[in-house]
Amino acid sequence: MKKALPEYDFQPATLKVLEDSPKKLFINNEWVAAQSGETFETLNPATGAPLAAAALAGAADVDAAVAAAQAAFPAWGSSIAAERAEKLFKLADLIDQHADMLAELETLDNGKPIRVARRGDLPYVTKHLRYQAGWADKIEGSTVPVTFPNQFVYTRREPLGVVAAIIPWNFPLLMAIWKLGPALAAGNTLILKPAEQTPLSALYLADLIREAGFPPGVVNILTGPGEPTGAALAAHPGIAKVAFTGSTAVGAKIMAAAAASNLKRVSLELGGKSPNVIFADADMASAVRGAQWAVFSTAGQECVAGTRLFVERAAYDQVVDGLKQNVEKMVVDHGFAEKVHVGPLISQAQMERVQGYIDQGQQAGAEIVAGGGRVGEQGYFLQPTIFAYQDDTLKLVQEEIFGPVVAVTAFDSEDELIARANDTQYGLAAGVWTRDVGKAHRYAHAVQAGTVWINGYGMIDPAAPFGGYKMSGFGREMGKEAIDLYTQVKTVWVNTQ
């Protein structure tokens, strides 16, 4: 297929991926067509033109992938842990070798600036994979001092079985690896369903998985939309766990499907409406820059985006002016443009949704300080937008927008701040900028969020647990806690008499 692509010196392998599309489903280390023969198209978010196509997995394909993953589980689950680690390390090496073209695929599919894909997503993918590979042979049980005199009791941490990973489009490869790393390290087998908007890097990963030496059935990759593909996974009785990242609404559906089918384990990393706070004693230049990048680095399409900005009244005008100046200098363009800060939104529907929030916010009395409109007529670009508001009940303030929109408000006291910061259904992340260490920790402890950044925003690390409070989900990815998500504890009693 000949594609209208931007002027850019693409790797030949990247262009080949587009030429080879639609790619089939990856089951049992083989490429197979969907049993229905159906495919679906993806669009380039920078232009709105067709980019690629992929096979559409239906219920019969899900059955086939589950059968393959189940057949592979006994051997993989009881394999020598160091050998599992070796394969994961090998996969990380292969991803490094293919990093340039994988970054290009991410930018084509998702729209993000190539610099971000190359310097952010890709290095983090392999860091994460290596960190989790390192856990494979350190998953230990314990001995338990029980009250019986002649019983020796110990625990084992065992894999769950077949894990389905259902992931979003904002960090396609990274989200895949967040789940694949600990799931495989712990001895589970996996079915990965990338988001329908961004299947390309996951499909490319399949060949690297085969090359790394994973046995057939250990990793299977099914492309398709939420319905039918994702829904069939969530409802399948042969799946032991669904690891999901995405919207709160879909997370709730997955939990319901899990409950109704086989009580499969569920871990959910969902939406956010994270409060970012600037006290008047903060290092203002860093705080303003931090507040800017906390939202706009991914065009706001990030679950941890600091979309509610609380500023102590004495610093309010300075922060709003500084933010406006910074934001108006941001270049909105396609991801391969030489100077680009903010890429497109993922789809027409998403762009219209975000514009709807902007229009509704204005009608409801919030004031636009910067931005507010579309950029260009091709692709799905919106200006970075700043709202000033007072009313915490506005939709704009309560609902996750997933677009380049920050809502700024002033506060007068710490008590008021905490009450307002926590006045949300979400609890994924929070930030605070101050030079007062006591104030920083008081806020960090009182705010209802799974991650708090003090004088910084948005850092994640393979070793640092990550996950939500409240309707931002449950389960902690990364760190050792990620292994807990993919294992269950067995207690063994031994009569020593």
Per-state percent for the chain, helix, strand, coil, to nearest 5:
40, 20, 40
Q: Please tell me the distance from the alpha carbon of residue 121 to that of residue 125, in angstroms, as a whole number.
A: 6
Q: Is residue 5 at the binding interface for ligand ADP, with CB under 6 A as the rule?
A: no
Least distance (Å) from ligand ADP to the CB of residue 400? 9
Q: Is residue 468 at the binding interface for ligand ADP, with CB under 6 A as the rule?
A: no
Q: Is residue 167 at the binding interface for ligand ADP, with CB under 6 A as the rule?
A: yes
- List active site positions: 269, 303
Residue with smaller CB distance to ligand ADP, 247 or 425: 247
Q: Output the CA–CA distances (angstroms, integers) from residue 12 to 21, 105, 375, 407, in the order listed.
A: 15, 12, 31, 43
Site for ligand ADP, residues 412 to 441, rule: CB under 6 A: none
DSSP-assigned beta bridge partners for residue 278: 311, 433
DSSP-based three-state secondary structure for 363: helix
Q: Is residue 352 at the binding interface for ligand ADP, with CB under 6 A as the rule?
A: no
Residue with smaller CB distance to ligand ADP, 403 or 450: 403
Q: Is the peptide bond before 199 cis (omega within 30 degrees of 0)?
A: no
Q: Is residue 165 at the binding interface for ligand ADP, with CB under 6 A as the rule?
A: no
Least distance (Å) from ligand ADP to the CB of residue 220? 15
Stretch that binds ligand ADP, among 93-101, 230-238, 277-285, 314-322 (CB under 6 A): 230-238
Q: Please tell me the distance from the alpha carbon of residue 81 to that of residue 84, in angstroms, as a whole number.
A: 5
Q: Output the CA–CA distances (angstroms, integers) from residue 494 to 144, 150, 176, 318, 361, in the order listed.
A: 11, 8, 40, 68, 65
Which x/- pattern over 170-209 shows residues binding ligand ADP (rule: CB under 6 A)?
A: -----------------------x-xx-------------
Stretch that binds ligand ADP, among 1-9, 228-236, 420-428, 472-480 (CB under 6 A): 228-236
Q: Please tell me the distance from the alpha carbon of residue 248 to that of residue 254, in angstroms, as a whole number.
A: 10
Q: Are strands 265-269 and 189-193 parallel, antiparallel or unpaired?
A: unpaired
Site for ligand ADP, residues 36 to 65, rule: CB under 6 A: none
Least distance (Å) from ligand ADP to the CB of residue 211? 25
Site for ligand ADP, residues 247 to 286, rule: CB under 6 A: 247, 250, 253-254
Q: Please tell me the distance from the alpha carbon of residue 286 to that of residue 279, in angstroms, as a whole number.
A: 12
Stretch that binds ligand ADP, among 96-104, 147-155, 229-237, 276-284 (CB under 6 A): 229-237
List the one residue from 25, 65, 85, 166 that touches ligand ADP (CB under 6 A).
166
Burial of 57 (0-12, 13-18, 19+ CB in 10 A): buried
Q: Please tell me the distance from the alpha carbon of residue 384 to that of residue 396, in angstroms, as a whole number.
A: 15
**Which residues make up the interface to ligand ADP (CB under 6 A)?**
166-169, 193, 195-196, 225-227, 230-231, 234, 246-247, 250, 253-254
